[in-house]
């Protein structure tokens, strides 16, 4: 590296980029390379570009920044990299130096930091959706128009109410866990949070929902706003410093990956893995329709949890877990990638929708709010008769004890 003094984070990112041996094993696993077919649209090429920028051999021109922005940061490359390149960390640090954020983006990302503000925005969106004003959506433009198109039906205010701060176990007490409500999850998918709490209670666990918890900062890190991401993790670290908690259980893969990257007060574990390891007393009713599972990137690649969801589903009597091509590839949601790059996101999703159709599944399960919205929008647009559910929602509907 040359030029002015570098921060420890810059130096760490640069050293991580040197781990790449340019073998190319990552190339075919990259969703953007599958669509665009050019070297600058795969991890190896992006490492070249980022290193060249850090060494000041090239300028961060608009074309260079665009090639880096087109990365989904799905981290599939990390799962197959023989050298262990921490690609996500290098990309986050690079984006923190190069990314420019306009006023709409700053407002949108800032809204995530405050649940009251986010709830007010949700209430306005619910009014928009129910009042008949949606006939005017053709007047919207750019990212606002895309946000409106992807937004699911906003639940009524009662369905968005906070979880109870404490929920007792059902039956014998087997332990105590903490649960993150999240920002998007708490406003648009609070039903998933309630289903998660019910599953944990049914497994015999007391559930606490700590006061003072905040947005995990995953979307901010994805966007290169590392200062905000680190600040949010510090807030959550303080909030989750509660006594006698066996684990912090996560039902959002993006939040789980963010928490896993920090030194949290208790082990961070995805709901699926927790129930595989500690939910042996759960029993489920029969379900005989074909089900497909789509792995969220930040569970499969960032947290290396590749088997627990499928293991859990094998405990549902009669369930047909049908194979689906590309089940471990990104769906194209990738934080707010589908808003920033709708055309390429749509092409990536179309390939996944083709795979879903071939599978013959009538239910698709996943584990991240962005994935739920992306899949539901795609399924609706294509007119498929497939129900898209969070794994927690599906299992809570089947649990008998």
* CATH code of residue 15: 1.10.1060.10
Name the percent of the chain lying above pLDDT 70. Answer: 96
pLDDT in tens, 96-137: 988 777 776 777 777 767 778 888 888 888 887 788 777 677
What angle do helix axes 253-260 and 369-382 make, rounded to 10 degrees? 160
Last residue of one domain, picked from the residues 278, 312, 339: 278
Helices (H), 173-269: 184-188, 190-202, 218-222, 226-239, 253-260
* CATH number assigned to the domain comprising residue 201: 3.40.50
**For range 271-279, the mean pLDDT:** 97
Q: Are 91 and 107 contained in the same domain?
A: no
In a domain, 2, yes or no: no
Which is more confident, 118 or 332?
A: 332
Report the distance separating Cα 176 and Cα 364, nearest Å.
31
Q: Are 164 and 267 contained in the same domain?
A: yes
Q: Are 209 and 266 contained in the same domain?
A: yes
Last residue of one domain, picked from the residues 78, 98, 118: 98
Q: How many domains does the chain have?
A: 4
Q: Are 242 and 193 contained in the same domain?
A: yes
Query: Can you give the pLDDT at residue 122?
Result: 83
Helices (H), 132-222: 142-150, 184-188, 190-202, 218-222
Report the distance separating Cα 20 and Cα 48, nearest Å.
9
Query: Predicted confidence band at 155 (pLDDT cuts at 50, 70, 90)?
Result: confident
Q: Is the pLDDT of residue 165 over 80?
A: yes
Q: Is the pLDDT of residue 175 over 80?
A: yes
In a domain, 356, yes or no: yes
Q: Are 247 and 209 contained in the same domain?
A: yes
Closest CA to 249 of 178, 194, 315, 201: 178
In a domain, 354, yes or no: yes
Mean pLDDT over the full length of the chain = 91
Half-sphere exposure of 318 (CA within 13 A, CB side): 7
Query: 3-state SS of the chain: helix, strand, coil percent to 5?
Result: 55, 10, 40
Query: Can you give the pLDDT at residue 200?
Result: 98
Last residue of one domain, picked from the residues 278, 301, 328: 278
Query: Can you give the pLDDT at residue 4?
Result: 55
| CA distances, 137 to each of 102, 134, 145, 148, 340 (Å) | 22, 5, 7, 8, 18
pLDDT in tens, 336-359: 898 889 999 999 999 999 999 999
Q: Is the pLDDT of residue 61 over 60?
A: yes
In a domain, 379, yes or no: yes
What global pTM score does this model have?
0.92
Query: Can you give the pLDDT at residue 5?
Result: 55
In a domain, 284, yes or no: no
Q: Are 304 and 364 contained in the same domain?
A: yes
Q: Are 363 and 302 contained in the same domain?
A: yes
CB 83 within 8 A of CB 15: no
State the residue range of the domain holding 117: 103-154
In a domain, 310, yes or no: yes
Q: Are 343 and 317 contained in the same domain?
A: yes
CA 297 from chain center: how many Å?
7
DSSP 8-state assignment for residue 57:
S
Q: Are 168 and 138 contained in the same domain?
A: no
Q: Is the pLDDT of residue 1 over 60?
A: no
In a domain, 1, yes or no: no
Range with top average pLDDT, 115-129, 219-233, 381-395: 381-395
């Amino acid at each position: 590296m040359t030029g002015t003094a570098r921060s420890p984070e810059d130096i760490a990112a640069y050293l991580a980029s040197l781990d790449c041996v340019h073998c190319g094993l990552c190339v075919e696993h990259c969703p953007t390379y599958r669509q665009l077919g050019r070297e600058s649209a795969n991890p190896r090429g992006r490492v070249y570009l980022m290193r060249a920028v850090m060494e000041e051999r090239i300028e961060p021109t608009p074309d260079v920044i665009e090639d880096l922005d087109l990365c989904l940061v799905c981290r599939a490359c990390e799962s197959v990299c023989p050298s262990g390149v921490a690609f996500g960390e290098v990309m986050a640090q690079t984006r923190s130096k190069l990314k420019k954020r306009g006023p709409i983006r700053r407002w949108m990302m800032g809204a995530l930091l405050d649940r009251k503000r986010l709830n007010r925005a949700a209430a306005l969106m619910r009014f928009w959706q129910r009042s008949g004003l949606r006939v005017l959506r053709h007047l919207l433009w750019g990212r606002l128009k895309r946000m409106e198109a992807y937004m699911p039906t906003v639940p009524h205010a009662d369905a968005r109410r906070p979880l109870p701060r404490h929920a007792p176990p059902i039956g014998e007490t087997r332990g105590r866990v903490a649960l993150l409500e999240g920002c998007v999850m708490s406003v648009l998918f609070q039903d998933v949070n309630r289903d998660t709490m019910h599953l944990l209670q049914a497994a015999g666990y007391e559930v606490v929902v700590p006061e003072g918890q905040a947005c995990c900062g995953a979307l901010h890190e994805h966007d290169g706003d590392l200062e905000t991401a680190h600040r949010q993790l510090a807030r959550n670290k303080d909030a989750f410093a509660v006594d006698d908690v066996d684990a912090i259980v996560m039902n959002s893969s993006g939040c789980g990956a963010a928490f896993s990257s920090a030194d949290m007060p208790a082990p961070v574990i995805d709901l699926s893995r927790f129930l595989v390891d500690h939910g042996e007393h759960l029993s489920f009713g029969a379900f005989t329709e074909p089900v497909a599972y789509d792995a969220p990137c930040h569970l499969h690649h960032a947290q290396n949890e590749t088997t627990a969801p499928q293991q859990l589903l094998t405990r549902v009597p009669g369930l047909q877990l049908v194979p689906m091509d590309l089940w471990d590839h990104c769906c194209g949601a990738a934080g707010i990638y589908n808003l920033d790059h709708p055309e390429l996101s749509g092409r990536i999703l179309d390939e996944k929708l083709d795979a879903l159709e071939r599978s013959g599944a009538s239910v698709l399960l996943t584990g991240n709010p962005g994935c739920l919205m992306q899949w539901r929008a795609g399924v609706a647009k294509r007119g498929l008769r497939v129900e898209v559910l969070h794994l927690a929602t599906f299992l809570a509907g089947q649990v008998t004890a």
